């Protein structure tokens, strides 16, 4: 069992039918988390998003949820919450028409942690891209935007290599009928990131908790 901190930035704007969510998880440097941990995490995620302004449609605004929740990774229970300093909003600058609502860049996170015979991997969605700046002639992500995001994702991972660690949360598995936990959840430190270059993702709506 470990306690993880969850950072969430919510994107809204004219291109989004529903709010979109950029969500990441961390092992705090202080057991149980702290206000400085929350502020540090939000500031670094904001830097990542700000680097990718051109990869987000103009008018989309990402705002941090300042309550950085602490979650028990084994069962998903909320155990605490810390209020971080507001890192400031990020507004997309991508030109042209927006891509369809729900379309997103995909960042894949790799770990060296094995769970039930497989490496724990995760992914995070970042939307909404713009057509003019973000699409190559074949309809796939353009290489310039992909390279920018790859560099920013690498920097986000390496920014948490000491103290606080960026992780992938492998959620608990529950019985579909009784909802009893069959396999407790766990987490693995992220060692690398890969931005998908051969296609787009489709972010399904998540419950944002506000």
Peptide bond into 152 cis (omega under 30): no
**What residues does 118 pair with on adjacent strands?**
115
DSSP state of 55: G
Give percent of the chain above pLDDT 90.
78
The pair of three-digit structure tokens given for residue 92, joined into one six-digit string: 């997309």
* Confidence band, pLDDT 50/70/90 cuts, at residue 101: confident
* Confidence band, pLDDT 50/70/90 cuts, at residue 134: confident
Query: In angstroms, rounded to a whole number, what is the distance separating the alpha carbons of residues 40 and 198?
Result: 33
pLDDT number for residue 162? 81
Of 38, 22, 29, 5, the closest CA to residue 107 belongs to 22
Residue pair 84/39 in contact by the 8 Å Cβ criterion = yes
DSSP state of 53: G
Average pLDDT estimate for 112-122: 95
Of 142, 155, 130, the closest CA to residue 50 belongs to 155
* Confidence band, pLDDT 50/70/90 cuts, at residue 138: confident
- Of 39 and 203, the structure prediction assigns the larger pLDDT to 39
Of 166, 149, 148, the closest CA to residue 157 belongs to 166
pLDDT number for residue 137? 85
The pair of three-digit structure tokens given for residue 176, joined into one six-digit string: 């579909």
């Amino acid at each position: 069992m470990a306690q993880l901190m969850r950072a969430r930035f919510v994107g809204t704007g004219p291109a989004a039918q529903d709010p979109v969510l950029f969500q990441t998880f961390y092992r705090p440097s202080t057991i149980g988390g702290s206000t400085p941990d929350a502020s540090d995490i939000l500031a670094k995620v904001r830097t990542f998003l700000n680097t990718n302004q051109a990869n987000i449609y103009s008018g989309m605004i990402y705002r941090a949820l300042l309550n950085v929740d602490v979650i028990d990774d084994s069962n998903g229970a909320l155990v605490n919450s810390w209020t971080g300093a507001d890192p400031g909003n990020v507004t997309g600058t991508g030109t042209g028409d927006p891509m369809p609502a729900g379309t997103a860049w995909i960042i894949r996170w790799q770990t060296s942690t094995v769970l039930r015979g497989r490496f724990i991997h995760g992914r995070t969605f970042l939307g909404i891209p713009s057509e003019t700046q973000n699409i190559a002639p074949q309809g796939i992500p353009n290489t310039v935007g992909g390279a920018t995001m790859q560099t920013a994702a690498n920097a986000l991972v390496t920014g948490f290599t000491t103290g606080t660690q960026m992780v992938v949360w492998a959620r608990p598995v529950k019985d579909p009928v009784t909802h009893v936990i069959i396999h407790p959840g766990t987490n693995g430190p992220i060692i690398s990131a890969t931005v998908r270059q051969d296609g787009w993702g489709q972010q399904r709506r998540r419950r944002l908790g506000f």
